[in-house]
Structure 1
Amino acid sequence: METIITIEVVGKRLFVQLPKNAADIQYIRSFTYAYWDKGTFRWVVPNYKRNLELLKSFFGDRLNAVVFAPPAIVSQATHNRTIKPDTLLAIKKPSGRLCLLCPRNPEVESLIHSFPYYQWDSHHKWWSIPYHESYLEQLKTLVLRIGWSFMFEEETKTIERTKGLTASDVPDYRVCPDAFLLKMKELRHSEHTVVSYKSCFEEFINYYRNYDVSQIDETMIIDFLRYLVIERKVSIAYQNQSINAIKFYYERVLGGQRKVYRIDRPQADKLLPVVLSEEEVTALLNATPNLKHKAILMTIYSAGLRVGEAVRLCLSDIDSKRMQIRVVQSKGRKDRYTLLSKKTLEVLRAYFVAYHPKHWLFEGPDGGPYSDRSIQSIMRSSVKRAGIIKAATVHTLRHSFATHLLEQGVDIRYIQSLLWHASTTTTEIYTHVTTKGFDQIISPLDRLML
């Protein structure tokens, strides 16, 4: 009898159908979060980077077909699910939250309550926590220990957003008033904030392009914000930015009284930052062959910089005697000092000899500062070459810097100072990310003489 092996690609999952074979099953089990689906009698492997290629390479000529399912199947995959009494289904949402569907169990619920920012969704009847690999591993360990089945799925992003109005879409497009821009510059807002507010306010005034700005009342403002959420499906950050831009015009530009527009500001999802391990940072830097590019990424990671701070560094900001980097006019228009790593200094010296920068530490082709976008592009290329699966950006290096310092035992107040957080509350998010030292913590119960 001919054996049939097929792989069906459904969004973030690979469904593998194959005859019973100990060697094949052992290989399938080697994939993280692979499981047997009793409903379809197939193995399910997460569709992570290279997993499909690895399966195709392993099965070789024995593989009969690879079928790609249409995206519509994925969008319905996590709705109206019936979970068996002995199963926990973990679904990673596009928002960065992990939804947990399972029957009631005191041990499982106790573990869920130990995670930060856990929530119970009474409508969908599921728990949700911030997604983190260590949390997923803890859940899987507990579930298997109590004899349950563990299933993991990743939901694809299916929200289709309506594009905002642009100058090419609207006849007689209304530009942001000069008074708005002058006031922002007068108050010394950053260029990034000016551009963001300008874009948000122009969308607002062109939504009501048949009205004079002075005629737009509170009810119309609320209607516009509802349009952003319901029709445009904008992010929480964009919604908040639009609120701030509108308030800025009426209160700061027109000099109106500070007032509440009875606008419900959205509550942002409680998420944990993506953090690279020390091994992943090493792989990332080793996968960056260009000396200048490596110097940029090393400087950002070793000093915990934001990308906007890195591009504004001048040669004079590098203090090799005190082994410090001066960050001028960082977020909040405040100066600060941060660490200058010995290894970073060595690479910077080699970079200086090779590239001869004149004023800016990292200069672009025109002699001006290197662009944020170019650094993001460097990071994406290095992440890909290093084979890192995580959704790592340049800002991930800053999160990794803080987490690694915390794991070394550095006091959180020093980390707060290096990152220039206004409050330790912001810095404390990294205590939820690190798991180093958990194996050394003894439960109080284990110390009781029972």
Structure 2
Amino acid sequence: MLDEVRRCLRVRHYSIRTETAYVGWIKRFILANQRRHPRDLGGREVEAFLSLLAVRGHVAASTQNQALSALLFLYREVLKQDLPWMEQVVRAKRPLRVPTVLSVAEVRALLAAMEGRPWLMASLIYGSGMRLMECLRLRVKDVDFGRGEITVREGKGARDRRTVLPASLAVPLRREIERVQSLHAADLREGFGRVWLPFALERKYPNAGTEPGWQYLFPSEHRSVDPRGGVERRHHLDDQVLSRGMKQAARRIGLAKPVSAHTLRHSFATHLLEAGYDIRTIQELLGHKDVATTQIYTHVLNRGGSGVLSPLDRNA
């Protein structure tokens, strides 16, 4: 059954990360019900499982929603069964949190403490507002130096968009592309060099996988076997490369705030708002479907056009 789940996910072009997460939740659901087949279970068991996650597991709302999505996919797309509306599920509370944002000085100090490819990726995320996986999945052809923009393919919600290419990164990015081309040429000499292509592009354009433009901008140091096809090829860098680099840099400069690639994305949006850019423009650059999502950064600023002066400072 799990093989059928994977097949259905791949037919619908779900990412390998989503596939891993969904299969994991379905396994947990089966184990929680004494290994009974999901066909013999139903809405009552799904309700109990999700409620258990919230009551005993104290999971975040996003985690519970992911488990629900996995089980809905199992029943609707794989088993072809409609679950009754589950009104008895105990929902995990979604906390209202403001994002962690670094000041301009903190961002500069953090980047100054980094080097190599982690520095370039962190700089690119802060300079363009991309998500971590959007950065890692960039292809060489998606960087347009002439127009000064980056095309993000298949971003969140399967939407393409364009965002700004920082002019200060043009030279190091060109050097990175030269390194990619050299690595790709070496792979071709060894009988490899065919990169993974989305959807049916590999059948439609048989030679596209070996073209320089389709290679990942940040390829892995080593080739690996693709779990979805068994082909040995060079994938993009692992996301932990950047995460480790950022955490090490934060420790070196004594930064107490938690830092991640998403912290840089939050900082990008906040600093653009501080500079006076229109919120609709920032929404487009970030790839938010609803401007209400972007408006959270106005709460981070917590000031109007002329700023808010604390009463304590006014009386000083």
TM-score of the alignment, normalized to the shorter chain, above 0.5: yes
- Which one of the candidate residues 263, 273, 295 is aligned to 2:99? 273
Whichever residue aligns with residue 403 of structure 1, its letter is T
Counterpart residue number, 1:133: none
Q: Any stretches of 5+ residues in structure 1 without a counterpart? A: 1-175, 444-450
Q: Cα gap change, 1:442/1:237 in structure 2, threshold over 3 Å: closer, same or farther?
A: closer
Using a 3 Å threshold, how does the CA distance of structure 1 residues 357 and 304 change in structure 2: closer, same or farther?
farther
Tell me whether 1:360 sits opposite 2:216 in the alignment: yes
Residues 1:215 and 2:82 are matched in the alignment: no
Q: Provide the rounded CA distance (Å) in 2 between the counterparts of 1:218 and 1:418.
A: 40
Task: Identify which range, 303-312 or 176-185, moves more after superposition.
Answer: 176-185
Mark the CA change 1:373 to 1:440 in structure 2 (over 3 Å): closer, same or farther: closer
1:205 maps onto 2:30 in alignment: yes
Q: Distance in 1 between matches of 2:148 and 2:309?
A: 39
Tell whether the 8 Å contact from 2:100 to 2:266 is kept in structure 1 after alignment. yes
Structure 2 Cα separation of the partners of residues 442 and 387 of structure 1: 29
**Separation of aligned partners in 1, 2:303 and 2:112:** 24
Shift of 1:206: 1.3
Question: Which residue type is aligned with residue 428 of structure 1?
Answer: Q
Please give the alpha-carbon distance, in whole angstroms, between the structure 2 residues aligned to 1:285 and 1:436: 27
Match of 1:234 in 2: 59
Matched, 1:196 2:21: yes
Larger helix proportion of the pair: 2
Distance in 2 (alpha carbons) for counterparts of 1:210 and 1:313: 41
Distance 1:391 1:283, change over 3 A: same
Tell me which residue corresponds to 2:225. Answer: none
CA offset digits 1:425-447 (Å, max 9, x no partner): 0000000001466754699xxxx
The 2-side partners of 1:196 and 1:282 are apart by: 35
Q: How does 1:61-210 map to 2 (within 5 A)?
A: 177-210=2-35
SS of the aligned residue for 1:330 comes to coil
* 1:303 paired residue among 111, 123, 128: 128
Query: Residues 210 and 423 of structure 1: is their aligned pair in 2 closer, same or farther, counting only changes over 3 Å?
Result: closer
Q: Which residue of 2 aligns with 1:284?
A: 110
| CA–CA separation in structure 2 for the residues paired with 1:353 and 1:213 | 51
* TM-score w.r.t. length of structure 2: 0.78
The code of the aligned residue for 1:273 comes to P
Number of residue equivalences: 267
Match of 2:138 in 1: 313
> Paired residue for 1:373?
240
- Helix, strand or coil for the counterpart of 2:258? coil
Change (3 A) 1:301 1:442: closer
Aligned to 1:342: 167
Give the corresponding residue for 1:395.
262
- Distance in 1 of aligned mates of 2:302 and 2:52: 42
Question: Secondary structure in 2 aligned to 1:432?
Answer: helix
Kindly, what percent of the aligned residue pairs are identical?
33
**Alignment CA distance shift 1:441-1:206 (3 Å):** closer
Structure 2 counterpart SS, 1:225 = helix
Instruction: Check whether the contact 1:276–1:400 (CA below 8 A) recurs between aligned residues.
Output: yes
Deviation at 1:237, TM superposition (A): 2.0
Q: Check whether the contact 2:98–2:296 (CA below 8 A) recurs between aligned residues.
A: yes
Deviation, 1:345, is: 1.4
Q: What RMSD over aligned residues (CA atoms) do the two structures have, in Å?
A: 2.2
Q: For residues 302 and 292 of structure 2, what CA distance do their matches in structure 1 show? A: 19
Task: Give the aligned residue type for 2:275.
Answer: Q
Structure 2: unaligned runs, 5 residues or longer = 185-214, 223-233, 311-316
**Are the aligned partners of 1:295 and 1:351 in contact in 2 as well (CA < 8 Å)?**
no
What is the distance in 2 between the residues matched to 1:258 and 1:402?
40
Q: Which residue identity is paired with 1:375?
A: L
Instruction: State the alpha-carbon separation in 2 of the partners of residues 392 and 248 from structure 1.
Output: 33
Structure with the largest fraction of strand: 1
Residue in structure 1 matched with residue 281 of structure 2 by the alignment? 414
Tell me the CA shift for residue 254 of structure 1.
1.8
The residue number in structure 1 matching 2:271 is: 404
Letter in 1 for 2:241: S
Check 1:284–1:373 CA distance in 2 against 1; reply closer, same or farther (3 A cut): same
Aligned to 2:202: none
Q: Give, in whole Å, the separation in 2 of the partners of 1:305 and 1:195.
A: 23
- 2:30 is paired with a residue of what secondary structure? helix
Letter in 2 for 1:280: E
CA gap of 1:187–1:436, structure 2 versus 1, over 3 A, is same
Q: Is the 8 A contact 2:58 2:92 kept in 1?
A: no
Residues 119-153 of structure 1 show CA distances to partners (whole Å, capped at 9, x for unaligned) of xxxxxxxxxxxxxxxxxxxxxxxxxxxxxxxxxxx
1:31-46 maps to which residues of 2 (within 5 A)?
Answer: none
Residue identity in the other structure for 1:190:
S
Do the aligned partners of 1:326 and 1:336 also contact (CA within 8 Å) in 2? yes
Largest Rg, 1 or 2: 1
- State the distance in 2 between where 1:385 and 1:332 align: 36
Pair 1:430-2:255 in alignment: no
Give the equivalent residue in structure 1 for 2:249.
382
**For 1:183, what is the secondary structure of its paired residue?**
helix
